[in-house]
A and B are shown apart, each in its own frame.
Chain A
Amino acid sequence: MSKILQLAGNTFRETIRDRVLNVALLFALAMIAAGILLGTLSIGEDQKIVKDLGLAAIEFFSVAIAIFIGTSLLFKEMDKRTIFIVLAKPVRRYEFMLGKFLGLAATLTCLLAAMTAAFGLMLVALHAFAFALFWQIALEWLQILLMIALALMFSTFASPVMAMAYSFALYLIGHNLEGLRVLARQAAPTARRLILLLYDVLPNLGHLDIKNQVVYGMPFSLSQWCVAASYGLVYTAFALVVGVLIFARREF
């Protein structure tokens, strides 16, 4: 465990000093501020728009940065040959991967915390603060973990550009997976089976999205939230295991 923490600490130091992170944070804060501005311009609906845009901006920027950094971490180690130094030591391949995952997860948790704090303060100033929003932010955190795991998994066998493309594609598909079900209803039997298989296998990020419920005050149960959170965690673990299995076979 101490080796994983060493590697995670090093990854955290590497990523927290990445300039991309500062740029992303600035953009995200600007988006949240723009949401508030937009909200104050719309009569009646202002609080809902502020909350909706704020939550969406936090999720988008966090996921984008998770994919951007997550897909380049392994490539940088190989390109700069620092991986020789680490894997020549008594470090197992899974320890290396978990260290990378936890380090980047820690960095993005800090980023999320900073954005949430800024968002929360703005909502307090607008008298629009609601604790229910945290349920969604917690699910966004799980989405970030899942996207880090997927980005790392893709980077074990693909170039950074391709790994980024796969990760973004999965993110977009994952949020629109219900469309596959609609498509399946209209497809021929063989195609339908294939589409439904994809529906089952691909990450359904819709499960981790309760923005409408928390913004519009629609009811959601704690058990529904727990099932969604468990789904996110299990899928993250699955992506990590696949990533480790591929990485363990790689030669350097």
Chain B
Amino acid sequence: MDDVAIVEATNLTKIYPAVIGQSAKLGLDGLTLTVRPGETFGLLGPNGAGKTTSQKLFLGLMKPTRGTIKVFGRGPEDPSVRARIGFLPENPYFYNYLTGEEFVRFCGGLFGLPRRTLDDRVKTLLETVGMTQARKVQLRKYSKGMLQRIGIAQALINDPDLVLLDEPMAGLDPVGRRELRELILGLKKAGKTIFFNSHILSDVEDICDRVGILLAGKLVALGTVKELVQGGTSLEDYFVQTVERHVAQPSAT
């Protein structure tokens, strides 16, 4: 693993330009953040706080209005950077005319994986996410939980060094959540760097080395769970208190 920071955001700001009937909107406000190799980082925040915007900027799906973003020391517009990233978007919706296996294979093909490697990876990943039996079923017939599992499989097809997960627990039942948590812990053990957005704070507390809290596009808290949660409170209590403090006094950080 490289010594350089895996993700390095400096004063990252995104302003969505005004469109007819809507004024310009601040998506992200001066995010400065470093994610280290092998770290599991959780980004928390209410809906519209800028979590998804951050991941889109990390992937080059949008360009920052101000500030810089480096992933593996380079800009994300460089395809060689994205070749080392696995990404699961929020509420994933895939090509529903493909079967689960066809879809994962298609994703692997976009990384230019050799056929034999691709065969092995597809088989192993479908087993890992428990989708071997349903692999020949079209995605249109999958439940939300099954789509999430296939989404995880496609995100890992390239054996990525950095895994970006946007609300990975959404739509999963308790068993599915536990399995995914174990899968993430397995990735962590394997030395992968994981960056995920989540609403489910108990999972974040269990899995993450460090967490950040985004409110209205601004990073208002950053540290290990232990650093943030003091005096026997839970991460959930800390999160709620931080949100309330910010609402009462927007300049507070």
- Contacting pair A80 B93 (CB below 8 A): yes
Name the distance in Å between B241's Cβ and chain A's nearest Cβ: 33
- Contacting pair A6 B94 (CB below 8 A): no
- Contacting pair B110 A82 (CB below 8 A): no
Give the interface segment out of A32-40, A87-95, A150-158, A165-173: A87-95
Select A252's contact among B56, B93, B107, B110, beta carbons within 8 Å: B56
- Contacting pair A87 B61 (CB below 8 A): yes
Which B residues are in CB contact (< 8 Å) with A42?
none
CB within 8 Å of A: which B69-106 residues: 79-80, 82-83, 85, 87, 89, 91-95, 97-98, 106
Give the interface segment out of A9-17, A129-137, A198-206, A229-237: A9-17
Nearest B residue to A2 via CB reads B112
- Contacting pair B111 A84 (CB below 8 A): no
Select B89's contact among A9, A17, A85, A92, beta carbons within 8 Å: A85
- Contacting pair B94 A89 (CB below 8 A): no
- Contacting pair B95 A14 (CB below 8 A): yes
With A and B bound together, what is the CA distance between A48 and B79 in angstroms? 55
Which A residues are in CB contact (< 8 Å) with B87?
84-85, 88-89
- Contacting pair B61 A252 (CB below 8 A): yes
Select A91's contact among B85, B98, B110, B154, beta carbons within 8 Å: B110
- Contacting pair A82 B80 (CB below 8 A): no
- Contacting pair A88 B59 (CB below 8 A): yes
- A251 on the B face (CB < 8 A): yes
A70-105 toward B: CB 8 Å interface, digit per residue (1/0)?
000000000011101111111110000000000000
With A and B bound together, what is the CA distance between A84 and B165 in angstroms? 13
With A and B bound together, what is the CA distance between A89 and B155 in angstroms? 9
- A3 on the B face (CB < 8 A): yes
Name the distance in Å between B63's Cβ and chain A's nearest Cβ: 6
- Contacting pair A251 B63 (CB below 8 A): yes
SS class, residues of chain B in contact with chain A = loop
- B46 on the A face (CB < 8 A): no
- B109 on the A face (CB < 8 A): yes
Which B residues are in CB contact (< 8 Å) with A251?
61-63
With A and B bound together, what is the CA distance between A3 and B107 in angstroms? 10
- Contacting pair A17 B97 (CB below 8 A): yes
Which B residues are in CB contact (< 8 Å) with A87?
59-61
- Contacting pair B82 A88 (CB below 8 A): yes
With A and B bound together, what is the CA distance between A86 and B80 in angstroms? 14
Name the distance in Å between A8's Cβ and chain B's nearest Cβ: 11
With A and B bound together, what is the CA distance between A236 and B91 in angstroms? 37
Name the distance in Å between A12's Cβ and chain B's nearest Cβ: 11
Nearest A residue to B63 via CB reads A251
Nearest A residue to B94 via CB reads A82
* Given A88-B59, A88-B85, CB of A6 within 8 Å of CB of B95: no
Select A90's contact among B82, B89, B93, beta carbons within 8 Å: B82
- Contacting pair B61 A84 (CB below 8 A): yes
With A and B bound together, what is the CA distance between A17 and B98 in angstroms? 11
CB within 8 Å of B: which A143-184 residues: none
Which A residues are in CB contact (< 8 Å) with B92?
81, 85
With A and B bound together, what is the CA distance between A85 and B97 in angstroms? 16
Which A residues are in CB contact (< 8 Å) with B63?
251
B23-57 toward A: CB 8 Å interface, digit per residue (1/0)?
00000000000000000000000000000000010
With A and B bound together, what is the CA distance between A7 and B95 in angstroms? 12
- Contacting pair A89 B110 (CB below 8 A): yes
* Given A80-B93, A252-B62, CB of A89 within 8 Å of CB of B82: yes
With A and B bound together, what is the CA distance between A7 and B107 in angstroms? 10
Nearest B residue to A7 via CB reads B110
* Given A81-B89, A85-B89, CB of A90 within 8 Å of CB of B110: yes
* Given A3-B110, A81-B89, A251-B61, CB of A91 within 8 Å of CB of B95: no
Name the distance in Å between A130's Cβ and chain B's nearest Cβ: 40
Name the distance in Å between A216's Cβ and chain B's nearest Cβ: 44
7 contacts between A and B (CB under 8 A): A10-B106, A81-B93, A85-B92, A87-B59, A91-B82, A251-B63, A252-B62
* Nearest 6 CB-CB pairings of A with B: A90-B79, A251-B62, A6-B109, A88-B87, A90-B83, A89-B110
Besides A88-B85, A251-B61, 16 new A-B residue pairs in contact (Cβ under 8 A), listed by A number: A14-B97, A80-B93, A81-B89, A81-B93, A82-B93, A82-B94, A84-B56, A88-B59, A88-B89, A89-B83, A89-B110, A89-B111, A89-B158, A90-B83, A90-B111, A92-B79
